[in-house]
Amino acid sequence: MARAVTTQRKALNTAIAWAIGLLIFFPILWTILTSFKTEAQAIADPPVFLFFDWTLENYAVVQERSNYMRFLWNSVFIAGGSTILGIIIAVPAAWSMAFVPSKRTKDILLWMLSTKMLPAVGVLYPIYLIFIKLGILDSRLGLTVVLMLINLPIIVWMLYTYFKEIPGEILEAARMDGASLRNEILYVLTPMAIPGIASTLLLNFILAWNEAFWTLNLTAAQAAPLTAFIASYSSPEGLFFAKLSAASTMAIAPILILGWFSQKQLVRGLTFGAVK
Amino acid sequence: MKLRNALFAASALVSVTATAALADGHATTLTIATVNNGDMIRMQGLTDDFTEKTGHTVEWVTLEENVLRQRVTTDITTNGGAFDIMTIGMYETPIWGANDWLVPLDDLSDDYNVDDILPAMRAGLSHEGTLYAAPFYGESSMIMYRTDLMEAAGMEMPDAPTWQFIREAAAAMTDRDNEINGICLRGKAGWGEGGAFITVTANSFGARWFDEDWNAQFDQPQWAEALNFYVGMMEESGPPGYATNGFNENLSLFQQGKCGMWIDATVAASFVTNPDDSTVADSVGFALAPNSEGIEKKSNWLWAWALAIPAGTQKADAAKEFIEWATSTDYIELVAENEGWANVPPGARISLYENANYKDIPFAQKTLDSILAADPTDPTVDPVPYVGIQFVAIPEFAGIATEVSQEFSAAYAGQQTVEEALEKAQAITNEAMEAAGYR
């Protein structure tokens, strides 16, 4: 009897989880479906769901109008570069905060996070002027550095949380065995925190990929990533939803595929230490 | 021997490079920031013609209108130099021109024939008589209506109707059971969306944003009359949720046959008469935007997307060459040749409306009449200290009008009364103008 109740409950939970999952995924699904419709079908009322004349015309138009590969390469460079750079800086920072904390460590952590609370537009002009002076406006390098700085507090926080789960005695033992600080971090700490580092990498790559304020405001023709590619198909005067959906689908496809293949690592990393 | 060969090879390389550079002349690459609309997309497709003629190549940065506005504003105010040409509108041009942020277009070639630009467009894109941006495409607003529904309602649309007629016709055309709304109008918050529409509506009721001393005028009876009229008509005959409808939402409703009338940008005429997208393409008529009985000013606006050269560019000469090419009569003919006369950029040049081929387009004459009926230097019944019809050409306006239109939209949605919205609008505007030093 007890087992029957458990099974029913499990089924109910599964059904609820699926319903929530579908609800969250629906806007993406709708975007993908709309990308295969004509502009007239895209705004049809009542909306058409699956039974329409599927067309690849929007993709053809988008391909013809835009240099998709350039936008894609810029996205890969900027998101990948900022994430790797962020990890390189954040690992030692998180190590010191987790294993050799000072009286001010918690304050520093909170202060770092507080920088995320400032609206980005508040510092647009100073950063824009710095970019002009340094001659890095519309450059991949400049954008990589900015996105790294923006995501650094999150990277440090995530790594700090993972590192705190690792017993300090293990590092102490390594030190007693004569390991240098570099070797301690590289060969003892890092392998133990791989799930956490992997999920931090993935999450920050996704955040950098989707970042749409700085990537639009600090680029023009050369360094514009896929967020600018999507923005170029949005129009308040004219119904181009099908083309916009095709552009959006092309922009999110790489990150969706990456997320799909790495979901196990992502979930494992995000729940690392959660049951303790 | 080896050294001699090396020197010979080096000098040959230098001379080849020099010859190539000379052949290239002053060829350069221009970066142009622009909006995503049909006319601009067509231009991007025809850029090869410009490159063939001048040797210059073009890099396009296409952005959504509001994103573009923020992007180019940041660049021009910091003298960033990210763009060689910017697509800007009538709101920015006189303000930026006055600040010397734009290169004056006062030395365009004789072939360009600057006198062919429609006077209203030229006035709106100038500061103290100097042209700072060349209009690529211009628009006003007008009534688009369903001829079949109008006939079924037993009414006939005059060429220049009044608001009172429009309200009556809207009520007669409304058929809630069949989801037909007599009239669809913008209500969405935003200075360029519902804010623009209610401003021109208010103009046609005798209202104005400011008196000659920059005092807000929302406490005057004309504003109350205009706003109450609009809300009353929309409640009787407008679509549900009109408070969140902008251009695209109304376009969608009209194309699906759910609006009897729609008053909006003249550019919409080509969309609603396109049988590929519109289910009512063969039954659309056009009329001038209405005015209130006894008031001469009509509720039509004037807007242009124009090309301007930021003062920070290093390529002003090449940029001028591009602007001359893109806004010339030759370009219009190039578009007509490739895409047909219905797709040429409208509203910029007088000669287009004298062209026999263009006169056959059903909405061409009404578009011209609407543009000619709009005067940005004399937008209201009572005198005002500003230029602009659906906007006030001062830097503070975009922020103020966005806030004010949010209050109006809240009134449309029934979250507050019209009187409360006007009271708040008055306070918001006066406070902002005082802070900015106008009062």
CA atoms within 13 A on the CB side of B195: 19
**Do the Cβ atoms of A216 and B63 come within 8 Å?**
yes
Q: Quick check: B20 pLDDT over 50?
A: no
Which pLDDT belongs to residue B4? 54
Q: Give, as one character, the DSSP assignment of residue B289.
A: P
CA-CA distance, B261 to B276, in Å (whole number)?
A: 20
Which pLDDT belongs to residue A273? 54
Which pLDDT belongs to residue B15? 44
Calculate helix-pair angle for A124-134, A140-164, nearest 10 degrees: 120
Could you tell me if the ipTM is greater than 0.85?
no
Q: Quick check: B128 pLDDT over 60?
A: yes
Q: Which fold has domain B28-132+303-359?
A: D-Maltodextrin-Binding Protein; domain 2 (3.40.190)
Query: How does residue B36 score in pLDDT terms, banded at 50, 70 and 90?
Result: confident
We find that the CATH architecture of domain B140-301+377-435 is 3-Layer(aba) Sandwich (3.40)
Q: Which residues of B touch A235 (CB under 8 A)?
A: 35-37, 64-65, 248
Q: Which residues of B touch A138 (CB under 8 A)?
A: 82
CA-CA distance, A82 to A95, in Å (whole number)?
A: 20
Q: Which residues of A touch B80 (CB under 8 A)?
A: 128, 132, 137
Pairs across A and B, CB distance < 8 A: 98
B277 touches chain A (CB under 8 A): yes
Write out pLDDT tens, residues B247-272.
999 999 999 999 999 999 998 998 89
CA-CA distance, B111 to B19, in Å (whole number)?
A: 31
Decide: residue B70, CB within 10 A, 0-12 exposed, 13-18 middle, 19+ buried.
Answer: middle
Q: Which amino acid is at A188?
A: V
CA-CA distance, B240 to B237, in Å (whole number)?
A: 9
Closest alpha carbon to A152 in A87, A201, A78, A76: A87
List, in order of start, the domains of chain A with CATH numbers. 66-232 (1.10.3720.10)
Which chain A residue shows the shortest CA-CA distance from B271?
Answer: A238
Q: What is the signed CA dihedral for A130, A133, A139, A145, rounded to 10 degrees?
A: -40
Which pLDDT belongs to residue B274? 87
Tokens of B73: 């504003």
| Chain Cα centroid distance, residue B338 | 24
Q: Quick check: A7 pLDDT over 90?
A: no
Which chain A residue shows the shortest CA-CA distance from B312?
Answer: A132
CA distance B9 to chain A (A): 34
Q: How high is the mean pLDDT of chain A?
A: 90
B48 touches chain A (CB under 8 A): no
Whether the model pTM is above 0.90? no
Strands B57-63 and B29-35: parallel
Q: Which residues of A touch B271 (CB under 8 A)?
A: 238-239
Query: How does residue B153 score in pLDDT terms, banded at 50, 70 and 90?
Result: very high
DSSP string, B295-313: ----S--EEEEEEE-BTT-
Which pLDDT belongs to residue A77? 97
Q: How high is the mean pLDDT of chain B?
A: 91
- A residues 107..136 contacting B (CB < 8 A): 124-125, 128-129, 132
Which pLDDT belongs to residue A193? 87
CA-CA distance, B8 to B2, in Å (whole number)?
A: 10
CA-CA distance, B346 to B136, in Å (whole number)?
A: 8
- A residues 215..254 contacting B (CB < 8 A): 216-217, 220-222, 224, 228, 231-240
Tokens of B359: 């006169």
Domain ranges for chain B, please list them. Answer: 28-132+303-359, 140-301+377-435
Percent of chain B, pLDDT > 90? 80
CA-CA distance, A40 to B275, in Å (whole number)?
A: 10
**Do the Cβ atoms of B80 and A235 come within 8 Å?**
no
CA distance B348 to chain A (A): 18
- A residues 191..210 contacting B (CB < 8 A): none
B33 touches chain A (CB under 8 A): yes
**Contact status, residue A178 vs residue A116, Cβ threshold 8 Å:** no
Which chain B residue shows the shortest CA-CA distance from A38?
Answer: B277
Which pLDDT belongs to residue A275? 45
Strands B284-288 and B259-265: unpaired
Q: Which residues of A touch B71 (CB under 8 A)?
A: 216-217
Average pLDDT over residues B268-297: 93
Q: What is the 3-state secondary structure (H, E, C) of A174-221?
A: HHHCCCCHHHHHHHHHHHHCHHHHHHHHHHHHHHHHHCCCHHHHCCCC
**Contact status, residue B392 vs residue B95, Cβ threshold 8 Å:** no
Which pLDDT belongs to residue B27? 86
* A225 Cβ contact list (under 8 Å, min separation 6): A71, A74, A75, A78, A79, A143, A209, A215, A219
Which pLDDT belongs to residue B245? 95
Write out pLDDT tens, residues B173-202.
999 999 999 999 999 999 989 999 999 999
Decide: residue B118, CB within 10 A, 0-12 exposed, 13-18 middle, 19+ buried.
Answer: buried
Write out pLDDT tens, residues B44-56.
999 999 999 999 9
Q: Quick check: B360 pLDDT over 90?
A: no
Write out pLDDT tens, residues A228-268.
999 999 887 777 899 999 999 999 999 989 888 888 777 77
Q: Which residues of B touch A227 (CB under 8 A)?
A: none
Q: Give, as one character, the DSSP assignment of residue B285.
A: E
**Contact status, residue A86 vs residue A159, Cβ threshold 8 Å:** no
Closest alpha carbon to B30 in B105, B87, B96: B87
Query: How does residue A63 score in pLDDT terms, banded at 50, 70 and 90?
Result: very high
Which pLDDT belongs to residue B9? 52
Tokens of B181: 């709304």
Cβ-nearest to B74 among A124, A228, A231:
A124
Looking at the DSSP bridge assignments, the partners of residue B184 are B262
Query: How does residue B24 score in pLDDT terms, banded at 50, 70 and 90?
Result: very low
CA atoms within 13 A on the CB side of A99: 22
The sign of the dihedral angle between the CA atoms of B147, B151, B154, B157 is positive
CA-CA distance, B406 to B139, in Å (whole number)?
A: 25
**Do the Cβ atoms of A65 and B44 come within 8 Å?**
yes
**Do the Cβ atoms of B64 and A43 come within 8 Å?**
no
CA-CA distance, A128 to B80, in Å (whole number)?
A: 8
* B10 Cβ contact list (under 8 Å, min separation 6): none
Which chain A residue shows the shortest CA-CA distance from B36?
Answer: A235
Decide: residue B11, CB within 10 A, 0-12 exposed, 13-18 middle, 19+ buried.
Answer: exposed
Q: Quick check: B10 pLDDT over 70?
A: no
Tokens of A23: 């609800």
Which pLDDT belongs to residue B23? 41
Which pLDDT belongs to residue B13? 45
CA atoms within 13 A on the CB side of B79: 8
| Chain Cα centroid distance, residue B314 | 28
User: How many angstroms separate the Cα of A129 from the Cα of each of A101, A125, B75, B79, B332?
Assistant: 37, 6, 9, 9, 39
Between these two residues, B151 and B24, which has the higher pLDDT value? B151
Average pLDDT over residues B150-158: 96
Write out pLDDT tens, residues A133-189.
999 999 999 999 999 999 999 999 999 988 988 888 888 898 888 889 889 888 988
Q: Quick check: B40 pLDDT over 70?
A: yes
Interface probe with B: pick from A235, A240, A241, most Cβ of B within 10 Å: A235
- Answer yes or no: same fold for B28-132+303-359 and B140-301+377-435: yes
Q: Which residues of A touch B267 (CB under 8 A)?
A: 237
